[in-house]
Amino acid sequence: MHDDRTLVEARLRRVLDERIRPAVYPESVPLQVAVWHAPGEPVPVEEGLAAEPGPIEVGARWGAPWGTSWFRVTGTVPEAWAGRTVEALLDLGFDENMPGFQCEGLVYRPDGTPVKGLNPRNQWVRIGAPATGGEEVVLHIEAASNPVVLDYHPFLPTRLGDKETAGSEPQYTLARMDLAVFDETVWQLVMDLEVLGELMAELPGDSARRYDLVRAVERALDAVDLQDVGGTAARARQQLTAVLAAPAVPSAHRISAVGHAHIDSAWLWPLRETVRKVARTTSNMTALIEDEPDFVFAMSQAQQWAWVKEHRPEVWARVKKAVADGRFVPAGGMWVESDTNMPGSEAMARQFVHGKRFFLDEFGIENEEAWLPDTFGFAAGLPQIIRAAGSKWLLTQKISWSRTNTFPHHTFQWEGIDGTRIFTHFPPVDTYNCSMKGSEIAHAARNFKDKGRARHSLAPTGWGDGGGGTTREMVAKAARLRDLEGSATVAWEAPRAFFEKAEAEYPEPPVWVGELYLELHRATLTSQAQTKQGNRRSEHLLREAELWAATAAVRTGFPYPHEDLDRIWKTVLLHQFHDILPGSSIAWVHREARATYARIAGELNVVIDAAQRALAGEGTRELLFNSAPHGRGGVPAGGAGAARPSQGTTPAPRAGGGYVLDNGLLRVEIDARGLVVSAYDVEAGRETVAPGGAAGLLQLHPDFPNMWDAWDVDEFYRNTVTDLTDAESVQADGPGESGGGGASVRVTRAFGASRVTQVLSLSPGERRLVIDTEVDWHETEKFLKLAFPLDMHAERYASETQFGHVHRPTHTNTSWEAAKFEACNHRFVHLAEPGWGVAIVNDSTYGHDVTRTVRGDGDRGTTTTVRVSLLRAPRFPDPETDQGVHRFRHALVPGAGIGDAVREGWRLNLPERWVTGAHEVAPLVTVDEDAVVVTAVKLADDGSGDVVVRFHEAHGGRARASLTAGFEVADVTVTDLLERPLADSEPPAREGGRVTVRLRPFELVTLRLRRS
């Protein structure tokens, strides 16, 4: 038999495109259209409905960037259409290839009832099924003219990313606005032919099943009268009945389809537009749930649910009903789908606290899965946090974006730094916008790496980012793929149902230990420095506010600001979303973020100041309030008192130029270039800086990645580097970091269009050199690093992460190690040889790299260089990224053990606060073991007045510690992160207010102390 597959396939494509799909709407009449353009920001629904529109014609331009236009469409259903299905086709000027990245609309009835969203792949509104004929049609469309920022030629700089620079040029051309007859039989034929045609293309060329499909499709096309598609569609469908009814083989891969619409809480649009994107999508999905009895939709991010509740109560009512029916499923249990690399320990915990509590309070639903399909890699501390929140599963898809190495599993146990394991799934469909195409389903089955041991995978199905979610076409395709020979099977299921099945069939999956590093998007650790600084400082201000407000509440009756802290935490958590904190959103988002962080800082400082004054009382004593988890200046952690005085030092001239800073513990030489050429640990008799090297060296690289400008830094950036060694001035300065008598040297430099000032300070009694760097940054497509070449031989180093630290190699033996050429740390990086180490701590940076070389000339020592990433200057999506003044603080700590690194990291991020008062303040709680770090002291969220203390082992070893309360304790309970008792936890040993705990390495514990 001759092979005519390609002939039939080509015939199918043309007949579908030119005859059958157009016949879905065989008759149409135009609607009348009028429009009112809101003059500024979006207006309330009632105002938009009441506005008086003016005339507009199809083909007219409309919509200034970021504008809102209210269209009113009116018409009459022709009498001849009575008894037929009628739909309105409302095309605002969509490009079908860009769902979620352009204009969108939400359709309302005149009484304000939302109907559904309008999107490029979802332009219809059902009018009648059947229509009565003669009925009047009046619909209102709240249309957002969001500009296309990421266009067909991506990553081109654009001013469209901020309403202040976007201009007023209309963005769209109004297209089809019609009433039309919907021929469901023809539409069903389209679905039949698409599913079979797509499946046919995926089957082996020599398989009998493929030829069965070819012949069936050929018969169906023969049965269609191209001049009367509607009249012959049923006959054509009959030719396909047998092949559609053939069941899948017993060994077929099984796909759990989850209705999904991944909506970035901000990205190429501002936060306010996400509120509307969510309303459009939830309107769509509740409407689809009413039409499709098997369909299940899952939505993550409690913040987005909260937006619907607050801003669209009429949509919220429909959502609540669908949730009660088990069809609209809260997923993930986090406030937002956050970045997980950069949020601090408490912030990562609070993502789950606030997310899970929202779903519990609103629906009584306990989420057991973390749902993070798009997050840019996962910190190694996350498994323990997921478990501590009462969850046990994780879903992600983003690891498929890795550029160097292919991840070896799709279902596995992920083990974190403390040994906690989380059952994790990484969908082999390789997209979180699955559309049920045959190519996607076949790829999932072929790609699944756990064949022979497991058969289940998950497919998040629907258009995201305002694309409208799952479509009726996707549901129709899934119905045909439920049990179809040659294909994986597909069934709509909630995430919980998938995970229960997957875990049951795969009781001993492989284990992946340590971080899930994404080999892409590494520059998100540096882009938009002020957003990252705002996050770091907000996290620490929240710690201070909770600590001092709780202490004052217990000691003085100070009113604990539950509502304010709850609101502020949620704002900080929102800004940890994986396109805000990583710096990959448009200019508008980051402009607002900077203002939000400034407002938060003001509010939290008011709380802190009021609580500290309530504790200190009226008096004239100068009291140091120590918010750090370790003692400082003789003041205990969490207490206040008079700090020990220290004797000042002054810079001494250095032979050959420059200065020497010497406090008896550390002797630092700064040469005439303003560079640290020696940092000598006096007690250890050990030099820190590598021979011939200079610490505190600023290095400038070109930075033009192949794509994803704000997201990526490609390894070839290292091929070209400029050392910024020329100094305009190097001079002795006044008191250093705290004004406490320290010696400092001020260095100024100029490069390109930018200037930098560095102040290098050494305080009495401290074994740390503090480097304050101020950069007035006006470079473009450049990458600024701060280098520390260390005289150390270390095969690995430690980076702080949530509730501990993770080790990474300093070598590049394998492609996995080589791919980690830019990585994340929190407050410190630590390197060590046996008996001696060095820490580099920071107050607001995350990205860094560590490399090593062996010196020649007979020395053969190893230079291990740590470089902190300070600033970048990508032009997309924000063409002005990081332009302006930035301030950073880092410290070089020679002779540091891991405990010193932990302590100095906290100290640098929690500066001293001095208050004039009457008396010292004893800590609310104390811990007698330096390795046990308290990350939170607060009052319980339920308003009971109980004190909640969270702590962890921070050095990576076992610890036994006593926690002592500075108040009378009636009871102590071990709880989860949501402050609920842990059923399987033994009560801690207690004598009065003294609790003894034993911790394994990096173990996290939350205690709830009920006051007598």
Helix/strand number for the chain, H first, E second: 19, 53
Question: Does 148 score more than 80 pLDDT?
Answer: yes
| Cross-strand pairs, 256 | 458, 491
Band of pLDDT at residue 739, cut at 50, 70 and 90: very low
Cα 339 to Cα 528: distance, rounded to the nearest angstrom: 14
428 three-class SS: coil
Per-residue model confidence as pLDDT tens digits over 37-72: 999 999 999 999 999 999 999 999 999 999 999 999
Contact 502, 425 (CB under 8 A): yes
Predicted TM-score (pTM) of this structure: 0.97
pLDDT at 984: 83
Per-residue model confidence as pLDDT tens digits over 863-908: 999 999 999 999 999 999 999 999 999 999 999 999 999 999 999 9
Sequence letter at residue 437:
K
pLDDT at 742: 79
Contact 454, 107 (CB under 8 A): no
Mean pLDDT of 371-375: 98
Question: Does 648 score more than 70 pLDDT?
Answer: no
Mean pLDDT of 357-362: 98
C-beta neighbour count of 242 within 10 angstroms: 10
User: 754-762 and 769-777: which strand pairing?
Assistant: antiparallel
Per-residue model confidence as pLDDT tens digits over 469-492: 999 999 999 999 999 999 999 999
Per-residue model confidence as pLDDT tens digits over 420-437: 999 999 999 999 999 999
Sequence letter at residue 502:
A
pLDDT at 738: 43
pLDDT at 366: 96
pLDDT at 475: 98
Cα 890 to Cα 842: distance, rounded to the nearest angstrom: 4
Least confident of 19-28, 849-858, 906-915: 849-858
In terms of DSSP H, where are the helices of 716-855?
815-818
Band of pLDDT at residue 858, cut at 50, 70 and 90: confident
In sequence order, the 6+-apart residues with CB closer than 8 A to the CB of 48 are 36, 38, 68, 70, 140, 142
Burial class (CB in 10 A: 0-12, 13-18, 19+), 110: exposed
Structure tokens at 27: 């008759």
Per-residue model confidence as pLDDT tens digits over 165-200: 999 999 999 999 999 999 999 999 999 999 999 999
Burial class (CB in 10 A: 0-12, 13-18, 19+), 648: middle
Mean pLDDT of 600-621: 98
Contact 565, 505 (CB under 8 A): no
Structure tokens at 51: 């506005």
- Give catalytic residue positions: 374
Cα 436 to Cα 299: distance, rounded to the nearest angstrom: 19
Structure tokens at 248: 């899948």
Whose CA is closest to 846, among 627, 522, 361?
A: 522
pLDDT at 735: 64
Mean pLDDT of 647-666: 91
Cα 280 to Cα 147: distance, rounded to the nearest angstrom: 17
Cα 277 to Cα 287: distance, rounded to the nearest angstrom: 16
Cα 863 to Cα 726: distance, rounded to the nearest angstrom: 23
Provide the phi-psi class of 393: left if phi over 0, else alpha when psi is between -120 and 50, else beta.
Answer: beta
Mean pLDDT of 968-993: 92
**Burial 556-575, CB ≥16 within 10 A → b, else e:** eebebbeeebeebbbbbbbb
Residue 29 C-beta-side C-alpha neighbours within 13 Å:
13
Cα 614 to Cα 611: distance, rounded to the nearest angstrom: 5
Question: Does 704 score more than 70 pLDDT?
Answer: yes
Percent of the chain residues topping a pLDDT of 70: 99
Question: Does 737 score more than 80 pLDDT?
Answer: no
192 three-class SS: helix
pLDDT at 768: 97
Q: What is the DSSP letter of 685?
A: T
> What's the Rg (C-alpha) of the chain?
31
pLDDT at 985: 82
Per-residue model confidence as pLDDT tens digits over 111-124: 999 999 999 999 99
In terms of DSSP H, where are the helices of 858-927?
898-909
Question: Does 397 score more than 70 pLDDT?
Answer: yes
Whose CA is closest to 36, among 14, 61, 65, 56?
A: 56
Provide the phi-psi class of 541: left if phi over 0, else alpha when psi is between -120 and 50, else beta.
Answer: alpha
pLDDT at 741: 59
Whose CA is closest to 878, among 530, 544, 632?
A: 530
Query: How big, in percent rounded to 5, are the helix, strand and coil portions of the chain?
Result: 25, 30, 40
Question: Does 736 score more than 80 pLDDT?
Answer: no
Distances in whole angstroms, Cα of residue 934 to Cα of each of 159, 282, 566, 724, 954: 45, 41, 20, 40, 10
Please, what sign has the CA dihedral across residues 986, 991, 995, 1000?
negative
Residue 13 C-beta-side C-alpha neighbours within 13 Å:
8
Whose CA is closest to 210, among 39, 438, 529, 383?
A: 438
Structure tokens at 397: 């898809």
Percent of the chain residues topping a pLDDT of 90: 96
Question: Does 645 score more than 90 pLDDT?
Answer: no
704 three-class SS: coil
Band of pLDDT at residue 285, cut at 50, 70 and 90: very high
Contact 339, 346 (CB under 8 A): no
pLDDT at 986: 83
Please, what sign has the CA dihedral across residues 816, 818, 821, 826?
positive
Longest alpha-carbon distance in the chain: 102
How big is the chain, counted in residues?
1012
